[in-house]
Amino acid sequence: MPLRRQPKQQRSQKRVEQILRSAAEVFVEVGYEAATTHMIAARAKTAIGSLYQFFPDKLAVFHALEARHMENVTVLNQELLQSADLKRPFAEFVDRLVEAHVAYFQDPIPQVVYIQYFVAPQLFMLFDETFNRQLIEQYASFLRQWNPALPIEKSERLAETVHQCYNALLLQALRGEEHQRRSRYEELKALLVAYLAPHVEPKSMDEKATKVMKCHYCHSDRLSKNGHRYNRQRYLCKDCGKQFLERAD
């Protein structure tokens, strides 16, 4: 963490933590450009001199938030991918993945860092295309675990497309109204399952012809047709209430 002075005592560590959390809240409320170190200190209920003991300026505070987010999101993604049960339906993993990120981004620290990356990437010191590339390669490797027959080039292309779409929809949800976020997250799940499932859960033509359509989430066969999206039939599960798209042949 890029601090001017490392806190050694518990009281100092607690003060730094309060400064970082207060900074994230201020950045979310007024934006990075409008925020000041005095506003951050006031929110943290600490003297401005105490803030400057650890951070020389506002940018240093932001870089500390950036480092915190990179560390936490790396651990989160590793835990999600490593704990995946490849014997369970892929849609279950997608649901768990998205919900884990939804919970994570409730915290103002990752929320403000994530949004700023797309608004003002010049502020960043650690988070760059190299980190994005590492994420894509990690996702590609994970897809090949689901389907060992998937070529490396194909898996990387799928992972890169998903990475871009995931970021776009997640950013849209985080910057949108609170009451609209849940529908955005459900659309994200549907998109991921519709796009990736045919590649990670390949089925033979005979299996497809004889298999009864079931909910991708709870596996109920109590379904009703609910319009079309992306030129595919959309279904509504009468048991769990979730929507999903018919998988491509």
13 has a pLDDT exceeding 70? yes
pLDDT band at residue 125 using 50, 70 and 90 as cut-offs: confident
Number of residues assigned to the chain: 249
pLDDT at 202: 67
Average pLDDT for residues 84-96, to the nearest whole number?
92
204 has a pLDDT exceeding 80? no
pLDDT band at residue 213 using 50, 70 and 90 as cut-offs: confident
Instruction: Mention every residue, 6+ apart, whose C-beta is less than 8 A from residue 130.
Output: none
pLDDT band at residue 208 using 50, 70 and 90 as cut-offs: very low
- Quote the Cα angle for 161-167-173, to 5°: 135
Percent of the chain with pLDDT over 70: 91
Q: For residue range 224-238, what is the model confidence (pLDDT) as tens digits?
A: 888 888 778 889 999
- Mean residue pLDDT across the chain: 88
For residue 105, the cross-strand partners are: none
**Integer Rg of the chain from CA:** 22
Domains of the chain, CATH where assigned: 10-202 (1.10.357.10), 204-249 (no CATH)
**CA–CA separation, 144 vs 232, rounded Å?**
26
**CA–CA separation, 140 vs 160, rounded Å?**
8
Average pLDDT for residues 186-200, to the nearest whole number?
94
Average pLDDT for residues 93-100, to the nearest whole number?
95
103 has a pLDDT exceeding 60? yes
